[in-house]
Amino acid sequence: MDTDSHLIPAPRTTHQADAPNRLTPATTLHTAPGTEPLAALLRGTIGAATGLALPEGGGDGEGDGNTDRIVLRLDPDLPGGPEAYRLSTDRTLQNVAALVEGATPAGVFRGMQTLRQLLGPEAFRRAPVAAGRDWTLPGVTIEDSPRFGWRGLMLDVARHFMPKDGVLRYLDLIAAHKLNVFHFHLTDDQGWRIEIKRYPRLTEVGAWRSRTKWGHRASPLWDEKPHGGYYTQDDIREIVAYAAERHIRVVPEIDLPGHSQAAIAAYPELGNTDVIDTASLSVWDTWGVNPNVLAPTDNTLRFYEGVLEEVLDLFPEDVSPFIHIGGDECPKEQWQKSDVAQDRIRELGLGGENELQSWIIRHFDTWLSARGRRLIGWDEILEGGLAPGAAVSSWRGYGAGIAAAEAGHDVVMCPEQYVYLDHRQAPGADEPVPIGFVRTLEDVYRFEPVPPQLGPEAAAHVLGTQANAWTEVMENQSRVDYQVFPRLAAFAEVAWSALPAPAARDFADFERRMAAHYKRLDALGVDYRPPAGPLPWQQRPGVVGRPIEGAPPNR
């Protein structure tokens, strides 16, 4: 098998050489200035899997008489942006088994992922399965760079908590697919997952629910065990540092003013106390759109400013330039009945409840901007007017993203009809807890992040794209794996590679390359959906879902 012809995502250009190269027990690793931190990552992945020690070697290029080497070095003149790389395993490079050059350290790191794929699926294991062997590298020169600067995965840990080790594992998985944004959905009605020291009840109370709906909210089934968990501040620091080492940006999400019942359960004064008895609320145990939203009071604003002060400390600007504040699915009925909310609308001269939500979003946009960060929110933040510097996650389809881009706002395209990975992967009855539209591997591969109706100026506001994994019906890591993979591999190619128009994409070739990629996923221990359908233990017979028939609307 020619390993270089099975790369995912597909590189821009590949030039074949006459003869293969190899890594041997004598292979050394040289890190040129600026690439030194990458040595531990390469030894911890390729070194661990091959059993090669890869000791530090001398020289930074060709022909210095040393043994064969892996060389990592910077070449800021490489075209294609900061993540561009060139990987050469051409035997004509004297005493160099593999030369990985990047425009920045991030580019070198992306090239290291390609090098790992060239070595075969065994290079994705944590320890060698055959010690003492030589490792063949096809003789190639690959020049590559990404299409988009934002290539993300959103992981919802609020509905079902994923322990820290699982989050670190997912950072490794997205790094292996050349994704570079981890959207960390930390708070919702069903749980608050981040320690905030000045407000300890957010985790003492808000991180735990007494039971959980099993399946869609229409299901009669319940898991009666308490569920919860949260990340300590040191856990968060570890996750952020781990991501930064892998050149992954982290976008923390603190949801407001909707999706906030867990916070209100912990601090009832945050809710609309003149409408309902907020002290009687507990962390929500079912799914859907919750009517209990934050009150538009100065106390609420000060409270969330305090939350965000600690969030900004935990997520430094170089890793987390964007802070996500949610802004989606905020019912307005309580505000309509609240004298406090109505007084605020009159006081501010607003045109109604939508503009009241916009006022809250603008407040935090100004607050974040003053601290060097950018606000991003779900596309409902467009309703009632949006602050000029805010960015939009377009989830309800293309329409909001088009409107935002044409208005000069930066956009991340993540339409639910195409890249919501909680949606089912096939129409069969065996699919576990079938949710939403059928979104097959091919459907994801033919997703186009930039709508054709956008002109060049507006299209430049599309920062990139993101796949979203909402975990209402994903109760553990295995279920998350099943929903995310293998579709994340197709999404990664859409986000990275320069593909033709959707109808012209060669899905048959992608399927051919996936045959090798499934073996990589096996080596990584990923519980993906097999091409032939779910295995018996992956099914969930009798658990009610919410399938939607037909093709999704193109909106």
CA–CA separation, 97 and 47 (whole Å): 14
Q: Among candidates 300, 289, 325, 319, which has minimal Cα distance to 185? A: 325
Q: Is 188 a known active-site residue?
A: yes
CA–CA separation, 55 and 39 (whole Å): 10
Out of 329, 406, 430, 442, the active site residue is 329
Partners of residue 140 on adjacent β-strands? 16
Out of 30, 259, 324, 423, the active site residue is 259
Q: What is the DSSP letter of 197?
A: T
Residue 103 backbone zone (phi > 0: left; psi -120 to 50: alpha; other: beta): alpha
Q: Is 259 a known active-site residue?
A: yes
Place of tokens 């040595």: 39
The DSSP bridge pattern shows strands 208-209 and 374-378 to be: unpaired
Out of 4, 156, 188, 443, the active site residue is 188
CA–CA separation, 132 and 129 (whole Å): 10
Q: Among candidates 102, 110, 138, 118, which has minimal Cα distance to 50? A: 118
Distances (CA, A) of 310 to 196, 198, 248, 303, 314: 7, 9, 21, 11, 6
CA–CA separation, 194 and 202 (whole Å): 8
Q: Are 505 and 491 in contact (CB under 8 A)?
A: no
* DSSP string over 237-264: HHHHHHHHHTT-EEEEEEEESSS-HHHH
CA–CA separation, 527 and 324 (whole Å): 29
Catalytic residues: 188, 259, 329
